Structure 1
Amino acid sequence: IPIVDRIAARLSLRIQQLDVVVETKTKDDVFVNMKISVQYQILREKVYDAFYKLQNPHEQLTAYIFDLVRAEIPKMLLDDVFEKKDDIAFAVKRDLKEAMLEYGYDIVKALVTDIDPDHSVKQAMNRINAAEREKIAAQHEGDAQRILIVERARAEAESKRLQGKGIADQRREIARGLEESVDTLNKAGINPQEASSLIVITQHYDTLQAIGSESSSNLILLPNNPNAASTMLNDMTASLLAANKVKEATDKNKE
């Protein structure tokens, strides 16, 4: 009796990939489209089961992926979906591997390759992110300004302290110099009152000399005693009268 063998089909034992886009909803009621990539291969020892037990393995895999993703994602908030996509991929691989092993398929890898929320949700997330970054930038800028103000205040306080110390040292040295001058004049036979008057007059002329040595100086010394205003007015009046007399005399000489 002749025996005839016939090839029913050819199956590839190489690793293949199935990409599935699943639309689902998160725990905070945000719809997202998730792209799941599943890499699988037929087990050599179960080629018979892979061919005869499943009529359309792609549809079977797709149905399992939809069921698994829609069972996991509604338990998570949108932010958690992005943070835990590896956990989602692991859960898909684990459950899918267990379900498809009976049919001769081994799940090599499951990947979450894309998470795409609604466009309005993405815009809102971008606005939240931008606002948060602006808030952080404002805080850093405020901290920098506060540090600058504090450092300026410290520098100014240190400057005032050093300036006050310098003034105190200057006055101390002036007092010591005056004391030495009075002692020297006393030793020369001049009584303290005369010595004080002499020192005041000397300082007065020293001041005038210092002012006169500055070519760009515009300082005017005015008397500061109680009668200074009336004295200055009288002096100015006398000066004006003298100037008028000089002018009249000059005009007469010209005639």
Structure 2
Amino acid sequence: MNIPFIILIIFGLFIFLSSFFTVKQQTSVIIERFGKFLSVRTSGLQLKIPMIDRIAGRVNLKIQQLDVIIETKTKDNVFVKLKVSVQFMVIKETVYDAFYKLEYPHDQITSYVFDVVRAEVPKLKLDDVFERKDDIAIAVKRELNEAMTTYGYTIINTLVTDIDPDIQVKNAMNRINAADREKTVAEFEAEASRIRIVAKAKAEAESKRLQGQGIADQRREIARGLVESVDVLNKVGINSQEASALIVVTQHYDTLQAIGADANSNLILLPNSPQAGSDMLNNMVASFSASNQVGEMMKKNNKKVKPKTDIKPDYETPETPEATE
């Protein structure tokens, strides 16, 4: 076996093996013949003519994600960074357009995202950017779909995954949030304090009412006891005035005795001289006598004033026809 024959066999084996190639799942292969598009091959074992056909490229049919970070300004002049995640894929039926019409799809998508975000965000205030981030994502998806469908791409979804304002603005927002929460806490504490004060006032009012009722009942029983005491003294020949004076003096001395029995008491009863009881009794007797005299004088005055019962009218009653006859 000579060397040229061996070289021929090796070359033939190489040609045979290069005629076959495999395509992975979710991948398409572009075949060109002499630099011209020939066909699109899908997954599996494929055949091509060696030295004539060549693999021009492979197109990924899986869903891909591109993260784009954009810095822009809001309507209230706050600079903010947004992270937009774009999920896209090549349409299986338009692999030719995706391969030949667009060379750098990532750059193309990034440009459209920048354009849409910088057109939408400056219309919104910072708070609205957080609240309407879904609207921004929908606007980006709509614009990208209109542009990228021409190149054989479809946009699966767009997400605004991060909104990062300037650090000073972020700190100010945190202070505002903290102040608002402190305000809420103060309002709740004030309301709780008001409830406690109202409850305490109601309890004190109820206590005063019950205390007043108890005092009234006590005085009622004291009055009933005084009436019974006066009745007992009247039965032994002591009139009502003398009995009342005797009871008052007795209570005066009982009070002095109760005050003196408490060693820690700092209460002083005035007057507290030895002749205070007799002076009180004399004053009461004098006041009773004066009140009796006043009552007698009022009775005499009432007797002198007599009511006029025979008042005649200042006109005469006309006679009737029967009386004139």
Under TM normalisation by the shorter chain, which class is it?
Answer: 0.7 to 0.9
1:74 partner amino acid: P
Aligned equivalent of 1:119: 167
1:24 to 1:5, Cα distance in 2 relative to 1, 3 A? same
Secondary structure of the residue aligned to 2:170 is helix
Query: What is the alpha-carbon distance in structure 1 between the residues aligned to residue 201 and residue 172 of structure 2?
Result: 43
Gapped regions of structure 2 (runs ≥ 5): 1-48, 277-325
Secondary structure of the residue aligned to 1:10 is strand
Secondary structure of the residue aligned to 2:67 is strand
Secondary structure of the residue aligned to 1:55 is coil
Query: What is the alpha-carbon distance in structure 1 between the residues aligned to residue 130 and residue 51 of structure 2?
Result: 59
Aligned equivalent of 2:128: 80
Aligned equivalent of 2:117: 69
Gapped regions of structure 1 (runs ≥ 5): 229-255
Larger Rg: 2
Query: What is the alpha-carbon distance in structure 1 between the residues aligned to residue 255 and residue 164 of structure 2?
Result: 85
Aligned equivalent of 2:66: 18
- State the percentage of identical aligned residues: 71
1:38 aligned to which of 65, 82, 86: 86
Query: What is the alpha-carbon distance in structure 1 between the residues aligned to residue 258 and residue 172 of structure 2?
Result: 74
1:28 partner amino acid: D
1:208-242 per-position Cα deviation (integer Å, ceiling 9, x unaligned): 564566576565656357x86xxxxxxxxxxxxxx
TM-fit CA distance, 1:56: 0.4
Where does 1:1-255 land on structure 2 (aligned, <5 Å)? 4-204=52-252, 206-207=254-255, 210-211=258-259, 223-224=271-272
- The structure that is strand-richer by fraction is 2
- The structure that is helix-richer by fraction is 1
1:65-119 per-position Cα deviation (integer Å, ceiling 9, x unaligned): 0011111111111000001111211221122112111111111111111111111
Q: TM-score, normalised by structure 2?
A: 0.63
1:115 partner amino acid: I
Aligned length, in residue pairs:
228
Query: What is the alpha-carbon distance in structure 2 between the residues aligned to residue 220 and residue 2 of structure 1?
Result: 131
1:153 partner amino acid: A
Query: What is the alpha-carbon distance in structure 1 between the residues aligned to residue 231 and residue 106 of structure 2?
Result: 117
1:175-203 per-position Cα deviation (integer Å, ceiling 9, x unaligned): 12111221232234332233224323443
Query: What is the alpha-carbon distance in structure 2 between the residues aligned to residue 189 and residue 87 of structure 1?
Result: 107
Query: What is the alpha-carbon distance in structure 2 between the residues aligned to residue 220 and residue 154 of structure 1?
Result: 34
1:111 partner amino acid: L
Considering Cα pairs closer than 8 Å and 6+ residues apart, tell me whether 1 or 2 has the greater RCO.
1
Structural RMSD (CA)? 2.6
Q: TM-score, normalised by structure 1?
A: 0.79
Query: What is the alpha-carbon distance in structure 1 between the residues aligned to residue 138 and residue 208 of structure 2?
Result: 68
Query: What is the alpha-carbon distance in structure 2 between the residues aligned to residue 29 and residue 218 of structure 1?
Result: 76
TM-fit CA distance, 1:142: 2.2
